[in-house]
Every structure is written in C-alpha cells, then in structure tokens.
Amino acid sequence: MISSFGALDLLWLAALAALLAGSWLRRPFWALALCVLGLLGSGAVAILSVTPGGVFGSLADVEPAWTALLPLFIAGLCLALVPQREERPGAAGYALVMLATVGALMLAHGPNLTTMALGALMLCLGAVTLAMGQGEAAKAYPVFAAAAVGLIAFIYGGLLVHGVSASPGLEARDAHNAVRSTPVFWLGAALAGGGLLVLSGLLALHAGLTRNSRAIAPVGAALLAVLPAYAVLFALARLLNAWPSVQSILNLAMAAAALVMMTAANLCAARTQDLCALLAYSASAQVGYLLMGLLGPQRAVILFAFAAFALAHIGAVAALAGTGCKRQGDQRGLAGSQPGIAVALLLALLSLAAIPPLAGFVGRFGLLQQAHLGGFGWLALAAAVNSIVSIWYYLRTALPMFLDLNHSAERNAGRSVAGWLALLCGVASVGIGIAGTGLALSA
C-alpha cells in the first residue's frame, strides 16, 4: 500500500499543468512533456514510498516496484494514443489520462474504503470521458449505466462497512470479528465486492461499444480496458485479505463472475463484425480470466498475466488506430501495405488467444493453475474451453491481413506513433513470453 500520496500529488500537478499548457500556450507538445515528467517523478516517489509486502506477498521483493510502476507505465503508453492535431482535445486528453491514473492508484492502494470509492469515481470519469464522443456513442449508454450502478453499489457498500465497524481502515480487522458476523456487514461487503466485479467487466465493454469517429477514442478504449482491471484486481485482493469471514462467499462470486464474463464475452466477440467491439468483448473476457488468479494461493501470477494482457490489448488498439480498420474485412491485405503494423496486430491477437510462446500463454497457464489449486477445477476447465473457442475469432481477424496482399483499401497511414507503439508492445510480448516460459520450465 502506498504510504505517502506524494506520487499522486505529482500526477495531479502534471494533469493541471498539461491542461493549462494546452489551453493557454496552445502547445500540445508541452502538455505531453509535462505529463511524461509527472509520470517519471511519480514513479520515483512511489518506489521510495511503497511499503514492501502488500497483497501479493510471495513477490515481496519486486512487488512494490511492480504495483507502483505498472499503472504509470500503462499511462505512458496510452499518452502516445492521444492525438496532437487538435490542440485543446489533445491537452484535455493528456489531463484525463493522468486523472484516470490517479483514480486507479487510489482505488488499488487507498488506505480506506472512502479513498478507494473516490478513486473509482475518478477512474470512471477520466477514462469514460476519453471514450465518449460523437457518432454511435449513445449505443454504449446502457453499458455505462450498468457500470455506474456497480460504482454506486461499491460506494454504498463501503459506507455500510464503515458504519457497522466504526473504522474506515481495511487493516484493523482483528478488533472487529464480532461485528463482521452481522448481516449489515455482510450486506456491505457483498455490495462492495459485487460493485467492483461489475465495474471490472462493463467498463471495458463501454469503451469498444462507443465506436465514435473522434480520434481521441483509442486512448479511452485502451485505458477503460486496462486500468480498471488493474485497480479492481488489487482492490479485490485487499478486500479478501481484510475480510476473511466473507472470503468464501467472495470467491464463489468471483468464480461465477469470471465464468459469465469469459463465456458471454467470447460468444459476443465471435458474432461481431466490428473490430473495436471485438477488442472490447475480448478485454471483458480477459478480465474474467484474470479473476481466476485471486482464487488460488499464489496471487503473484496475476502480475504477470495482467502485464501480458495490458501489452496485448494496448498493442491491438494502437494497431487499429494506426490503420483505421474498423470492421472485419478492412484489414484484408494489410501486410502488403503496412507489414509492421500487421505483424504487431498479429502478435497482439495471438497473445490474447494465449498462443505460446507469447506472454499471454504463460499468464493464462498460471491463471488456470490458480483456479485449480483454489478448488475451482470446473472453472479452470471452462476457461480452457473458452480459450480454445476464442482462437477462432482471433484467427478470423488475423489471417486476412496476410491474404490478398494486393488488396487496396482506404486506410489511415498517418498515425505513425500508434504504429510504433503497436510494434513496441508486440516485441515486449514476445520477449516477456519467452522469458516467462524459460522461468516456468526451470522452476
């Protein structure tokens, strides 16, 4: 848990400075530079102020650096997806990325449920605003409304727990064992845990279902899928540690939520022709897989699996942003005109499908082991079946890129930054996957 909020203060200042630089100086580059400096400074402060141990105790030596730097690294990648052509939207986009990052850190590492609820609100406001826009955004309003219900449930659940335990902290659990057996506490714990589960899956769907034409949408799609997953996983792990009396119920709820997420999202992804929606459904399914990591004794597996998911998803979003492909068929022959981005998108999709030796395979294998060791063998079997089913729609998207290389289509070839970001994520996914496979075989 972050013991000092100096890192968050730097992110706040960077967001404000970026907004002012874009509004007054009309220099998006300076806004970007200020955000990058804020991320670097925040990372340095966070490493010095994070207390060892944490929720992933088996990685006590490296866990503080991972937990502090993961969301900051993700924010840095997403900054590359914010457009600079329009000054004010670009500067506002940088500020919203920083706001969402602050919210994720507060939800994941806040000292009490009040701070965590405020972080969840900031995360939703920052990331959802990035994904909102014109065009068909109204189609995603029902999904966002459901996510808002999850946020409200988490807030009111936290209030009930606060009221019945007379203590806002999560760590002072031994003195309240008698209180934790009351129906009010159980109701509050159910609302808080259930609200987090709802948020984890629906925010990712909202990003892809907007499908609006604004250039700022890709960064929102990336943030809404990745940062909420990070924050919710850490928050749920802390709730499991702090509330052992309801751990069995929360485990069952997480197992059920994981099954519903991965199955429903895979079925929807197999039917859709929209590439943005496909990535949104895929992200929701990936969150379902990640929840399995909380069911076993070695929760440190989640760190690797989450990093693999983040690289693959951001790489896929960047590749689509770099080509302008929106529907199945638009990517046909992409390898002939933009071979680098085609290879990057292929690596991202194969990693999401858990194909060896990419990072997604190593992470998925560890998550299946976690579910089995936690006594949820049926969920591991269901996840394995869902993983096999998902290979079909990932290959349906990837293979046409290398067919009919003379096929000509109108594509956006001007998003060079997004293309390089996609390549970076693809190379990192291969490197981490090979390294992780080697470590697993030598263990």
Which residue from 143, 314, 173 is spatially nearest to 230, judged by alpha carbons? 314
State the virtual CA torsion across 277, 283, 285, 290 in degrees, nearest 10: 180
- Residue with the two structure tokens 């909202």: 206
pLDDT value at residue 46: 62
pLDDT value at residue 19: 65
Query: Is the domain of 420 the same as that of 279?
Result: yes
CB-based contacts of 139: which residues, under 8 Å, 6+ apart? 209, 210, 211
CB neighbours of residue 94 within 10 Å: 31
Query: Is the domain of 215 the same as that of 260?
Result: no
pLDDT value at residue 441: 55
Query: Is the domain of 97 the same as that of 170?
Result: yes
pTM: 0.84
Please state the three-class secondary structure of 427-439 as a single string. HHHHHHHHHHHHH
pLDDT value at residue 105: 81
Query: Is the domain of 398 the same as that of 288?
Result: yes
Query: Is the domain of 288 the same as that of 236?
Result: no
Query: Is the domain of 253 the same as that of 235?
Result: no
Query: Is the domain of 112 the same as that of 5?
Result: yes
Q: Residues 128, 106: contact at Cβ < 8 Å?
A: no
> Taking the chain, what is the end-to-end CA distance rounded to the nearest angstrom?
29
pLDDT value at residue 384: 94
The helix/strand/coil state of 2 is: strand
* Phi, psi of 330, rounded to the nearest 5 degrees: -65, -30
Q: Residues 135, 216: contact at Cβ < 8 Å?
A: no
pLDDT value at residue 211: 46
* Phi, psi of 112, rounded to the nearest 5 degrees: -150, 175
Which of 185, 208, 242 is the last residue before a domain boundary?
242
Would you state the structure tokens that stand for residue 230, as one six-digit string?
Answer: 């990070």
Which of 242, 271, 289 is the last residue before a domain boundary?
242
Query: Is the domain of 236 the same as that of 307?
Result: no
Which residue from 256, 240, 255 is spatially nearest to 367, judged by alpha carbons? 255
CB neighbours of residue 354 within 10 Å: 28
Could you give the CA distance from residue 63 to residue 57 in angstroms, rounded to a whole number?
A: 8
User: What's the distance, CA 41 to chain centroid?
Assistant: 22
pLDDT value at residue 338: 83
Q: What is the widest separation between alpha-carbon atoms in the chain?
A: 71
Could you give the CA distance from residue 280 to residue 403 in angstroms, rounded to a whole number?
A: 25
Which of 221, 242, 263 is the last residue before a domain boundary?
242
Which residue from 437, 285, 279 is spatially nearest to 366, judged by alpha carbons? 437
The domain of 3 spans 1-242
Query: Is the domain of 58 the same as that of 158?
Result: yes
Could you give the CA distance from residue 322 to residue 81 in angstroms, rounded to a whole number?
A: 9
CB-based contacts of 92: which residues, under 8 Å, 6+ apart? 19, 22
pLDDT value at residue 57: 36
The tens place of each residue's pLDDT in the chain, 443 residues long, gives 444 446 666 776 777 676 666 666 566 666 777 777 777 777 676 666 554 444 433 333 334 455 667 788 888 777 777 655 543 445 677 777 788 888 888 888 777 777 788 888 888 777 767 666 544 445 556 666 776 777 788 877 777 776 666 655 555 444 455 555 577 777 777 788 777 777 766 665 555 554 443 434 566 667 767 888 888 888 888 888 777 777 788 888 889 889 988 998 899 888 888 887 888 888 889 989 999 998 988 777 888 898 899 899 988 888 888 887 878 888 888 888 788 888 999 999 999 999 988 899 999 999 999 999 989 999 999 999 999 999 999 999 998 888 876 655 555 554 567 788 888 888 888 888 888 776 655 55
pLDDT value at residue 55: 40
* Phi, psi of 169, rounded to the nearest 5 degrees: -75, 155
| Buried residues in 50-88 as b, exposed as e (16+ CB within 10 A) | beeebbbeebeeebbebbbbbbbbbbbbbbbbbbbeebe
Which residue from 188, 321, 311 is spatially nearest to 242, judged by alpha carbons? 188
Query: Is the domain of 229 the same as that of 277?
Result: no
Domain count, the chain: 2
Query: Is the domain of 186 the same as that of 284?
Result: no
Query: Is the domain of 11 the same as that of 124?
Result: yes
Could you give the CA distance from residue 371 to residue 358 in angstroms, rounded to a whole number?
A: 21
